[in-house]
Structure 1
Amino acid sequence: MGDFTGHGLAASIGTLPVSRAFYALTQKGLSIPDIATEINKTLYELLPTEMFCAAAIVELNYNATQISVWAGGVPDLYLLHPNGGVKSTIPSMHMPLGVLPTLEFEDTQSIYHVKKLDTLLIYSDGLIELENASQELFGEDKLNALLSNGTTSNMDSLIQSVKEHKGQCSQNDDITIIELKCDVPELPCEQLEKFSIMPQQQTVKLSADYLKRVNPISEITETVCSIKGVLRHKSNIFLILSEAYNNALEHGVLKMDSN
């Protein structure tokens, strides 16, 4: 979820490069820190100083047992119990995208374990800053109270409460609300793609000139994931290969000290 500074046409300038970068990077199986870093770099170079993008980048793993979160400049996220009620609050700990240069940018993600049918609620600040006829904000207290009342249809009751609070007043900011249910469809065994039984071995030789110019992990990951049955593990494979490659390059080739 991304929320740019400002309103209307001016605020939409960055949406195209962000969406293009996001889909390209996720297609390659890059991790959340890499996605956040690349989008931040794009926006930092593209946008004027006063513009930025508050964002929450979330990944639900293949078995729906954990979520990875990078959040910057957005309100805190809420992890909700299946039957309603707040399970935990996930803080937004970073600066928005497009504010800091790459060397100062913090790409750290947070990992949270979830159970089946837990729900993650993500929303823009337009929700809690919505004013009624008395110029009272919707506010985090009202949102917390609404989410803690034990109802199972949080989204329906939340939207209804927003409409009642707004009344006939004009809406001064965009409101985005995302409800991510931590669940995956249970496919019959015969529908799951089985692993290839053909033995395979791959050797890649990288010259010094190549190592100076290119990070080969995305291409290697794509090659490995073309093997039957491997694609669903793409994110983990990318992470493992990245760590192995970085260690080999920094300590094996460049002889850098771990400190």
Structure 2
Amino acid sequence: MNPDSYKPSIDDCVNLVNEDIAIAEKDGSLKLIASTYDFQNNMLREGTQWQGKKVITFSNILKNNAFPLAAILQNVLEIGAKEMNNPELREIGRDMQRKKNGFVSSTLNGVERMIYYMPLPSSDWTLAVVFPKSEIYLPLRNSAIILIILMTCGLLILAFIIIKIISKQLVPLTHFAKSAREIAKGDFQVELPEIRTKDEMRELYDAFDYMKHHLVHYINTLQKTTSDKEKIESELRIAREIQMGMIPKTFPPFPLRKELDQFAILNPAKEVGGDLYDYFIDQDKLYFIIGDVSGKGIPASLLMAVTRSLFRSVTLHFNTPSEILTNLNNSLAENNESNMFVTLFLGILDLNSGTLQFCNAGHNPPIILNSDCNYLSVIPNLPLGLIEGFDFVAQELHLTPNTTLLLYTDGLTEAENAQKQLYGESRLLSFVQENPFDTTQQLIESIVEDVEHHVQQAEQSDDMTLLAINYKGAPLKYEKNLTLLNDISQISLLQSFIDEVGEEIGLEKSLVLKLNLALEEAVSNIILYAYPKEMGKKIMVSVALKNNDLIFTITDTGIPFDPTLSENPNIEISAEERPIGGLGIFLIKQIMNEVTYTRIHDINVFTMKKKIDQK
């Protein structure tokens, strides 16, 4: 060491110089502290006289105890561990003194280090190797980075190759897609892309080619089928028009017959159906039927047409319902190899008397609506066409004025909704009872609307037919009307009106005088009391002759008042003692046979009937 290079310092490391072992070997200072590594025998030899790498082991000093290096190192280790406040390092020093081996981690000078120690078998020394922990994983980390880079590059290259291969494979698919769009537009002569390989693309080509040729065949077949279907539908439309033309559908059917109000509908489930209804008037008698042929469609429509035609022809020769149905049944049952039948209800209504003769052939009983509302009690009998020679039993009923018959087929009561619930006879009866109507058309249309509300979107499963007949009573033989104002001066017009009625009908003068007295009393009360503060209001007076009843009807929109509720006055006492009022209505009751009052839609209706003997 050169004295000139010495630097005074409290840090001993400043004056230390690192030299290579080869320089120390020439100097001779390695004799006591170095050993030689024998490469051939893979062992350390004591001393420096051997050939090989020199390793500082302090072997001669330690072995011959020429220098107390072990004790010094032990003390240094303990002092260092104590000063560094590192119990782990102190424990490592003790383990090394006990000749133990180990591999532990410890933090020295703020750096995590790995310490490996083991006793040397050829001496009393324990060798410890200390190295930073980061250096252990450094080669592994570098290898991992290199591996990741190589894998990434490999994946990129592989992806590029795959994309190229897929792109090449997808080119025919693009052509196939274009060809498919052209085929969808109807161009079946479009060329498919050429495929030379014998793989899935070839199978796809064969499938497209097969599809193209079979689509041509399918389209041709479909066109022929559609043409045939349109032809059949056209024929069915014509058949429907013919069938619907066979049943009456002009309403009111007899506009000159004031004693009748009729309406009907027929809604077939298919283009044509098996339901029917018909009616006509002959010698003041209304003949009517409603029926339902078994089955649906064309066969049922043919039998329906036959039944309707037979009804028209048979009624020319027979007058009673039982005779008509017996002959209808025999005609339909003859040669009935298909075993089809017809349920039918037939009625004959005398328009003058209101007598209804009817006969049922297995059909639904109609509903009769008058003061009561219920199903008509009928003898069911057998449907037409089942047994030839069957004797049908007829029934008879008298209809009061303003009685309505509601006839229908089972397509009404058996109408189903999506939950398979039937409309039902009880619901039909309840609906008719709870919903008043003014005309038969209003009655039927309200029923159809209720049925549609019940079935919602469910498909119609059976033909549905309804026929309503309202008998208003015997036809009027005479009718005359007069309009007055609520002015007492109008009474003279009323007197002239009654005189004209008496002359036209041929009434006796004494009766005309009485009628004048009754009408004058009734109209005067309305003029004086119905409109106490209003003038110019109308009073309608009408007279009608029905059979032998002369009916006077007075209507006004004045104050509601029922004169029929007034008590009869005591005519046995003097006029001074008798209370005022009641004598006029008493007089009217004495002259007329029947007096009634009602108020309808804010209109007072006062009716008086007088039986007469016509000349």
TM-score normalised per structure 1:
0.66
Q: 2:382 aligns with which of 90, 95, 105?
A: 95
Give 2:373's aligned residue. 86
Alignment partner, residue 135 of structure 1: 420
Does structure 1 conserve the Cα–Cα contact (< 8 Å) formed by 2:357 and 2:397? yes
- Number of paired residues? 186
AA of the residue aligned to 1:86: C
Instruction: Report the alpha carbon displacement of residue 188 of structure 1 after superposing the two structures with TM.
Output: 4.0
1:148 equivalent in alignment to 2:433: yes
Residue 162 of structure 1 is matched in structure 2 by 451
Secondary structure at the counterpart of residue 340 of structure 2: coil
Cα 1:16–1:36 change in 2 (3 A) is: same
Indicate conservation of the 8 Å contact 1:42/1:98, yes or no.
Answer: yes
SS of 1:14's equivalent in the other structure is helix
Q: Which has the larger radius of gyration?
A: 2
Q: Distance in 2 between matches of 1:88 and 1:125?
A: 14
1:110-135, CA deviations, whole angstroms, 9 ceiling, x for partnerless residues? Answer: 11111111001111011111101111
Inter-CA distance 46–162: structure 2 relative to 1 (3 Å threshold): farther
Among 275, 280, 295, the alignment partner of 1:6 is: 295
CA distance in 2, matches of 1:87, 1:172: 27
Give 1:78 shift: 1.0
Contact 1:74 1:92 in 2 (8 A): no
Aligned to 2:400: 115
Structure 2 Cα separation of the partners of residues 86 and 134 of structure 1: 29
By relative contact order (CA 8 Å, sep 6+), the higher-ranking structure is 1
Which amino acid is the alignment partner of residue 408 of structure 2?
Y
Relative to structure 1, the CA distance from residue 46 to residue 179 in structure 2 (aligned partners, 3 Å threshold; closer, same or farther) is farther
Residues 66 and 114, structure 1, Cα contact 8 Å, conserved in 2: yes
Residues 151-174 of structure 1 show CA distances to partners (whole Å, capped at 9, x for unaligned) of 124323211101111211110100
Distance (whole Å) between structure 2 residues aligned to residue 35 and residue 16 of structure 1 = 17
* Superposed CA RMSD: 2.2
Q: Aligned partners of 1:92, 1:108: CA distance in 2, in Å?
A: 7
Matches within 5 A, 1:175-194: 175-183=464-472, 186-188=475-477
**1:185 Cα deviation after fit:** 7.0
Matches of 2:449 and 2:435, distance apart in 1: 16
Letter of the aligned partner of 1:14 in structure 2?
L
* Uncovered stretches (5+) of structure 1, i.e. residues with no partner: 190-259
CA contact (8 A) 2:413 2:422 kept: yes
Distance 1:150 1:53, change over 3 A: same
When you count strand as a share of all residues, which structure comes out higher? 2
8 Å contact from structure 2 (residues 402, 473) kept in 1: no
Judging changes above 3 Å, is the alpha-carbon distance between structure 1 residues 88 and 4 closer, same or farther for their aligned structure 2 residues? closer
TM-score by length of 2: 0.29
2:405 is paired with a residue whose SS is strand
* Inter-partner Cα distance in structure 2 for 1:188 and 1:112: 24
What CA distance in whole angstroms lies between the structure 2 residues aligned with 1:25 and 1:143?
Answer: 33
Distance 1:167 1:139 in 2: 15
Superposed CA offset, 1:38-83 (max 9, x none): 110011014335310000011111315121111122112111127x
Contact preservation (8 Å) 2:401, 2:474: no
Distance 2:416 2:366 in 1: 21
Q: Once the 2 structures are TM-superposed, how far is the Cα of residue 99 of structure 1 from its aligned partner?
A: 0.9
Given candidates 323, 330, 336, the residue that maps to 1:41 is 330
